Structure 1
Amino acid sequence: MAVGMPRFAATATAGALALALTLGSVAPAGAQLGSIDPATLGPDDLETIIEAVGSVPLGSTAGSLGSVGSADIPLGEGSSAPIGTPSPVDPSITETEFRGVERTRGEYQYWIVASESMQREITVEVVPSRGEGAAPVLYMLDGVGAPVSSTGWNHQGQIADRLADEDVHVVNPAGAFASYYTDWEQPDPVLGNNKWETFLTEELPGVVAEQLETSGRNGIGGISMGGQAAMHLAATHPGLYDAVMSFSGYYSTMDALGYQTVRLSVETRGGQVDNMWGPHRSGRWAENDTISHPEGLRGKAVYFSSGSGEIGPEDLQEYGGGADVQNLLIGLVLEKGVREGTEAFERALDRANVDHRVDYSDTGLHNWPNFLKNFEAGWEHIKPALED
């Protein structure tokens, strides 16, 4: 019996999830898990999944659970502490400034930038262009697990190697754990003082232009939470970004699925979601609902992709050959929700006459192997917009 099955079988007693988790071997379990419809999951199933989401640090969100309805899903007992503690507020920080390169690791530089809006220091992971002369800037955003001192675009994405032959500066802000890269209404006791939209759009570009020779062209991208934020920032600040790419993002904050995505991502990590945008359906929530106002994406190179929620060979490898049923199941449910949201976003862009490219994979759960399988396609689609 695969690792984790006894715990799940004891608690998950309803719907397709319970059936899958009572199976006794990896191969049939994979087949059954790949056919789970999130809408069939019962309350006991959801509580089990949420407890797992809260106790396992993931680079993803818990959004697809929202497909069962708009009522708040129970959080369970677990929570996932930030990977590192956000730097404390320093009232003496009254301007944004570059404070130096803290360290280097191969092609990666780790800048310390003091943020006026957040009144704290931010680590920014930078891979300067290896070409000569001015180059465009590509900002890449992490998922919900965003560590404080480095990013998944190094450790999981190996982005320096992926773009080794490209004339582009890569800039990855670190430490935006469960923040949605947005301006929070007020500081959170656990997640700190977050004014990421201001930092990314008003403060960091000036620092980058001072330290690197830039062409004036900018792109932004991300995975999961970071993909959702990248699409919002590109639509909301059309004069700043020329291109955007998102891998397994979700683009609504107002529908039931999007609401649960955001709430669970924040609250299973110890934050209080009302500290971010206030009560659900307030104006701030609506502002971040890109699917309802995608017009700001017109004229840009727009790329996004999704897996299917069906288990593929890369997924089995990622989850220990299928033995890590707990994380495999979470990744399955999340990507099924992402697929639904990606299809809805495609329809919204079509209605708004926004040119775009979207790729759907036949398999893929909510994990880095799935995110990265479409990276080259995304880069090739947005690259011309950064070179003009």
Structure 2
Amino acid sequence: MRRLFRIAIVLLVVIAGVSIPPAYAEGARIVGEVQVDDRTTDLVIDSPALGTTAMVRVLLPSNYAARPERSFPQLWLLHGCCADQDPVPTPDYLGWAAHTDVEEFTVDKDVVVIMPAGGYAAFYSTWRSGMPDWETFHTNEVRELVESKYRVNRTRAVAGLSTGGYGAMAYAFRHKGMFAAAASYSGLPNTLLPAATQLIQLILVRQGHGPEDLWGSQWWDHAVWSARNPFDHVDDLRGTALYVSSGDGRQAGASWPTDPIEAAASASSRTFTDRLRLRGIPVTVDYYGDGTHSWPHWERELHTSWPFLAAALGLAGSE
């Protein structure tokens, strides 16, 4: 009888189109904490969604302790791919801190900066096999743990570079209303553009995965790819403040692109913003011409987009 009851419940859920939350949506916990300095803490999170532990760096505003009555908005910064293959490998969650002036730049900003691990070439997604589930890790586990530990409010913005730029737009449309603003720097917001699809699969192979390990085949599993593609869901971004930027892949003074990765990011970004405009969805763009897929440009874009992000975070007037 009990078995029949369970079967009946499952059938009702399927018929109603209701999804059952995965078991690993609960149970994440902070198992380690390193105080780097007065503003900076590294958290070790035991994540059921990942089946392992992962790191998150939290950067507090300089007036956090002096304003105990205040809650602060959140700025999530997502890193890109493949830093483990740099000459001096950088832990993924330290990408922004190691390669940009984010710590100095935000010292006078009234915002809590959250820089989570995202895996090398993990694409801010649930993988085809169900594990790892980076999307649940970020949008559920990290979010809930940070919001229970720190004095943050529920006003959030997300910005990312490269694969993190894709992640920013993907999280914004897949979790509508979670982020007031989303910014992509040299991202891939149109994953089904052939140049972007090929780049994604090359990255997977370069990182030791199969080209279809992430979302399957772009042909036979087209629905899965489309469900993860911001370009195919621009209407779900309506009401979110959007910022998109990229270079064109050329070194300064070069006559043609010398960086095929940035060229692919530019093509993916431009088709995405073209579609946004066609649908009447506002977007701020900075297609700055000469520029390769590299940190100096992303540091500059963080500065350039800050007034845009600050306005969405309710910090208008912040420079």
What is the CA deviation profile of residues 3-40 of structure 1, one whole-angstrom value per residue up to 9, with x for unaligned ones? xxxxxxxxxxxxxxxxxxxxxxxxxxxxxxxxxxxxxx
Q: Structure 2 counterpart of 1:274, which letter?
A: E
1:222 maps to 2:222: no
Aligned residues of 1:304 and 1:378 also touching (Cα < 8 A): no
Q: Give the Å deviation of 1:342.
A: 1.9
Out of 104, 115, 120, the residue aligned to residue 172 of structure 1 is: 115
Aligned residues of 1:303 and 1:378 also touching (Cα < 8 A): yes
What is the CA deviation profile of residues 174-222 of structure 1, one whole-angstrom value per residue up to 9, with x for unaligned ones? 25111001111227xxxxx421111111111110111110111011111
Q: Structure 2 counterpart of 1:337, which letter?
A: A
Aligned residue in 1 for 2:244 = 304
Q: Provide the rounded CA distance (Å) in 1 between the counterparts of 2:287 and 2:150.
A: 36
Q: Provide the rounded CA distance (Å) in 2 between the counterparts of 1:107 and 1:272.
A: 40
TM-score, scaled to structure 1: 0.67
Out of 95, 110, 124, the residue aligned to residue 152 of structure 1 is: 95
Aligned residues of 1:307 and 1:365 also touching (Cα < 8 A): yes
- Number of equivalent positions: 278
SS in 1 for 2:176: coil
After TM superposition, list the pairs within 5 Å mapping 1:39-118 onto structure 2.
Answer: 95-105=27-37, 107-118=39-50
1:250–1:179 CA distance, 2 compared to 1 (3 A): same
SS in 2 for 1:348: helix
Q: Give the Å deviation of 1:94.
A: 7.0
SS in 1 for 2:259: helix
Q: Provide the rounded CA distance (Å) in 2 between the counterparts of 1:330 and 1:104.
A: 40
Out of 290, 298, 312, the residue aligned to residue 363 of structure 1 is: 290
1:197–1:93 CA distance, 2 compared to 1 (3 A): closer
Aligned residue in 2 for 1:122 = 54
Aligned residue in 2 for 1:285 = 225
1:94–1:348 CA distance, 2 compared to 1 (3 A): closer
1:112–1:244 CA distance, 2 compared to 1 (3 A): same
Aligned residues of 1:228 and 1:246 also touching (Cα < 8 A): yes
1:108–1:331 CA distance, 2 compared to 1 (3 A): farther
Aligned residue in 1 for 2:127 = 184
SS in 2 for 1:200: helix
Aligned residue in 2 for 1:141 = 78
Aligned residue in 1 for 2:86 = none
Q: Provide the rounded CA distance (Å) in 1 between the counterparts of 2:32 and 2:155.
A: 24
SS in 1 for 2:214: helix
Q: Provide the rounded CA distance (Å) in 2 between the counterparts of 1:176 and 1:156.
A: 17
Aligned residues of 1:302 and 1:357 also touching (Cα < 8 A): yes
My pick for the range that moved more, 356-365 or 129-138, is 129-138
Aligned residue in 2 for 1:247 = 185
Q: Give the Å deviation of 1:93.
A: 11
Q: Provide the rounded CA distance (Å) in 2 between the counterparts of 1:241 and 1:175.
A: 18
Q: Provide the rounded CA distance (Å) in 1 between the counterparts of 2:31 and 2:61.
A: 21
Q: Provide the rounded CA distance (Å) in 1 between the counterparts of 2:189 and 2:143.
A: 24
SS in 1 for 2:36: strand
Aligned residues of 2:249 and 2:262 also touching (Cα < 8 A): yes
Q: Provide the rounded CA distance (Å) in 2 between the counterparts of 1:260 and 1:368.
A: 23
1:260 maps to 2:203: no
Aligned residues of 1:308 and 1:363 also touching (Cα < 8 A): yes
Q: Provide the rounded CA distance (Å) in 1 between the counterparts of 2:197 and 2:38.
A: 40
Identical residues among aligned pairs (%): 26
Q: Structure 2 counterpart of 1:179, which letter?
A: A
1:334–1:357 CA distance, 2 compared to 1 (3 A): same
1:340 maps to 2:267: yes
SS in 1 for 2:200: helix
Q: Provide the rounded CA distance (Å) in 2 between the counterparts of 1:182 and 1:374.
A: 24
Q: Provide the rounded CA distance (Å) in 1 between the counterparts of 2:151 and 2:294.
A: 34
1:93–1:223 CA distance, 2 compared to 1 (3 A): closer
Q: Structure 1 counterpart of 2:146, which letter?
A: V
SS in 1 for 2:104: helix
Q: Give the Å deviation of 1:268.
A: 0.9
Q: Structure 2 counterpart of 1:137, which letter?
A: Q
Aligned residue in 1 for 2:6 = none
Aligned residue in 1 for 2:12 = none
Q: Structure 2 counterpart of 1:304, which letter?
A: V
Q: Provide the rounded CA distance (Å) in 2 between the counterparts of 1:136 and 1:217.
A: 5
SS in 2 for 1:373: helix
TM-score, scaled to structure 2: 0.81
Q: Give the Å deviation of 1:286.
A: 0.9
Aligned residues of 1:183 and 1:197 also touching (Cα < 8 A): yes
Q: Give the Å deviation of 1:145.
A: 2.0
1:149–1:382 CA distance, 2 compared to 1 (3 A): closer
